């Protein structure tokens, strides 16, 4: 027999409903923070209400092995959307990666092999699901439909946009007027990315500000193909890398990777310029607006040491990917190593036979520097030490005996055990 609903039940249900509304409101306010562009803005009403889940498209071409915090800016927003009840369509651009996104490029990108793309695609999924909810994510590969387009269909697609409009795009415009070559297949990239939206019938497409042209192309093609929806677009700012100037990029070496170990992740965070602190807190964390405003005021009034705020930021970022305990441990390790001048607890060791060798060549062989040129640059900057002594002449040779600690930059160590 069913129990009658009492006034107490109604009061309890009302409280639960209010709690859900408050949580949704908090998530929505956090989601809006840092958004650069929303077209049309009315889509935010549907985001907030979540009465009908939106299909939110986000794509990444697997053109490198690792994702970094620059990608996390968008992933963080996508996770918030999932927590509000929306779904994410993660498009692995295994077809478009073979062309290479010309966005921001001053020359035609080198084509990737199919094997390289497949390998990168696998690692991308593993990394994305460190942030996104698997149960609220649909993973698709755009080769599933782009690879099946016939020559006739490809021509029909290319007829949906004009060369004149394509040359209005900033990077194409600069290359054209600078007499730099533009390959025909590069014009196809935004069309193919836009066609993904036609196939998926996405309600929203998410990306960085540098992707605005490509995102609008999806909106345009959905109208052209009359597919029943016209996606909104949302963009987030491009995150500056550790140099505080150029965008975070693995190729530039100014990145914090999503799979880097807690110690490295924390140490790299401590190296960001003071000027980037508030921006990192705003775009990467769930720290409240009130707390960020207080930090900003304290920095402006010289009431706080930027190093202390970097400690909080580093602990928070490590905590996102490894948990709070790992964040605390990484902070303590940093304090022990750099404040108390102690050595890390997990320095790799290598035993070698005693012989003279070039320091620059040694750094490359032991993967402490990616190339001899980079090793020479690090040495010239005074970033290479052996037993605490700087080695700044790239012609230096080292004749080791006993045990030595080689340090490169702020984070790389190697204990060298030399046998005669």
40 shares its domain with 180: yes
Residue 403: in which H helix or E strand, if any? strand 402-408
Beta strands in 131-196 (DSSP E): 137-141
Consecutive H or E run containing 28: helix 7-32
Average pLDDT over residues 161-184: 85
* CATH number for the domain harbouring residue 361: 3.10.290.10
Least confident of 76-80, 287-291, 315-319, 392-396: 392-396
Give the end of a domain, one of 319, 339, 359.
339
Residue 321 in any domain: the answer is: yes
Residue count of the chain: 420
Query: Given this model, what pLDDT does residue 78 score?
Result: 97
What pLDDT, on the 0 to 100 scale, is given for residue 124?
83
Partnered with residue 138 across adjacent β-strands are 89
Q: Are residues 56 and 181 in the same domain?
A: yes
Distance, in Å, from the CA atom of 194 to the CA atom of 280, rounded to the nearest integer, reads 30
* φ and ψ of 114, to 5 deg: -60, -35
pLDDT at site 420: 56
Based on the fold, state whether residues 283 and 376 are members of the same structural domain. no
313 and 371 assigned to the same domain:
no
Q: What local confidence, expressed as pLDDT, does residue 230 receive?
A: 96
Structure token digits, residue 228: 């029943």
Please state, for a pLDDT cut of 90, what percent of the chain lies above it. 50
% the chain with pLDDT above 70: 85
Torsion, CA 32, CA 313, CA 89, CA 222, rounded to 10:
40
275 located within any domain: yes
Residue 16 pLDDT more than 60?
Answer: no
CATH (domain of 271):
1.10.240.10
391/314 same-domain check: no
Would the pLDDT of 397 be above 50?
A: yes
Domains of the chain: total? 3
Check which CATH number belongs to the domain holding 51 and give it. 3.40.50.620
3 pLDDT band, cuts 50/70/90, is very low
pLDDT of residue 95 exceeding 80, the answer is yes
Q: State whether 214 and 164 are in the same domain.
A: yes
Q: Determine, yes or no, domain membership for 252.
A: no
Tokens 């193919």 -> residue: 192
346 Cβ contact partners less than 8 Å away, ≥ 6 residues apart: 263
Q: Last residue of a domain, which of 219, 236, 253?
A: 236
| Confidence bin at 106 (pLDDT 50/70/90) | very low
Q: Are strands 87-92 and 137-141 parallel, antiparallel or unpaired?
A: parallel
237-282 confidence digits (pLDDT tens): 999 999 898 989 877 788 999 999 999 999 999 989 999 999 999 9
Same domain for 219 and 98?
Answer: yes
- Tell me the chain's radius of gyration from C-alpha atoms: 25
Give me the residues paired with residue 349 across strands. 415
Tell whether 39 and 179 lie within a shared domain. yes
> What pairs with residue 208 in β-bridges?
236
Q: Are residues 230 and 273 in the same domain?
A: no
Residue 14 has pLDDT above 50, yes or no: no
Domain, as residue range, for 187: 35-236
Asked if 309 and 378 sit in the same domain, the reply is: no
Asked whether residue 9 is domain-assigned, the answer is no
**Is 248 part of a structural domain of the chain?**
no
Answer yes or no: do 58 and 134 share one domain: yes
If asked whether residues 387 and 315 sit together in one domain, one would say: no
Write down the pLDDT at residue 355: 65
Bridge pairing between strands 349-353 and 412-419? parallel
Residues 326-381: tens digit of each pLDDT: 999 999 988 887 666 666 666 777 777 666 778 888 888 888 888 888 888 888 88
Domain assignment present for 335: yes
**Is 72 a member of any domain?**
yes
């Amino acid at each position: 027999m069913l129990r009658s609903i009492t006034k107490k039940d109604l009061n309890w249900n009302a409280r639960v409903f209010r709690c859900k509304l408050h949580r949704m409101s908090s998530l929505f306010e956090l989601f809006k923070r840092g958004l650069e562009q929303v077209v049309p803005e009315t889509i935010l009403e549907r985001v907030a209400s979540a009465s009908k889940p939106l299909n939110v498209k986000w794509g990444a071409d697997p053109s490198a092995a690792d994702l970094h915090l620059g990608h996390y800016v968008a992933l963080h927003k996508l996770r918030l959307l999932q927590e509000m009840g929306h779904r994410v369509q993660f498009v692995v651009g295994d077809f478009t990666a073979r062309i290479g996104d010309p966005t921001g490029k001053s020359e035609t990108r080198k084509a990737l092999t199919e094997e390289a793309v497949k390998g990168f695609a696998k690692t991308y999924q593993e990394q994305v699901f460190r942030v996104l909810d698997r149960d609220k994510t649909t993973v698709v590969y755009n080769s599933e439909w782009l690879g099946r387009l016939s020559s006739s269909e490809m021509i029909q697609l290319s007829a949906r946009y004009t060369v004149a409009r394509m040359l209005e795009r900033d990077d194409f415009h600069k290359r054209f007027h600078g007499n730099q070559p533009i390959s025909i297949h590069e014009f196809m990239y935004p069309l193919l990315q836009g066609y993904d939206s036609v196939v998926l019938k996405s309600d929203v497409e998410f990306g960085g500000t540098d992707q605005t042209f490509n995102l609008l192309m999806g909106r345009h093609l959905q109208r052209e193909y009359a597919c029943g929806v016209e996606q909104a677009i949302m963009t987030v700012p491009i995150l500056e890398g550790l140099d505080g100037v150029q965008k975070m990029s693995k190729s530039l070496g100014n990145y914090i990777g999503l799979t880097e170990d807690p110690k490295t992740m924390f140490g790299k965070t401590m190296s960001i310029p003071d000027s980037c602190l508030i921006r990192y807190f705003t775009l990467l964390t769930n720290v409240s607006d009130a707390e960020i405003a207080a930090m900003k005021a304290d920095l402006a009034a010289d009431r706080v040491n930027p190093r202390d705020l970097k400690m909080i930021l580093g602990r928070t970022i490590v905590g996102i990917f490894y948990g709070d305990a790992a964040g605390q441990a990484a902070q303590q390790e940093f304090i022990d190593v750099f404040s108390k001048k102690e050595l890390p607890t997990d320095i790799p060791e290598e035993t070698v036979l005693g012989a003279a060798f070039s320091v620059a060549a040694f750094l490359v062989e032991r993967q402490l520097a990616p190339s001899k040129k980079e090793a020479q640059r690090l040495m010239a900057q005074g970033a290479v030490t052996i037993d605490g002594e700087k080695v700044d002449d790239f012609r230096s040779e080292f004749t080791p005996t006993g045990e030595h600690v080689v340090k490169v930059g702020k984070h790389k160590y190697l204990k060298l055990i030399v046998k005669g």
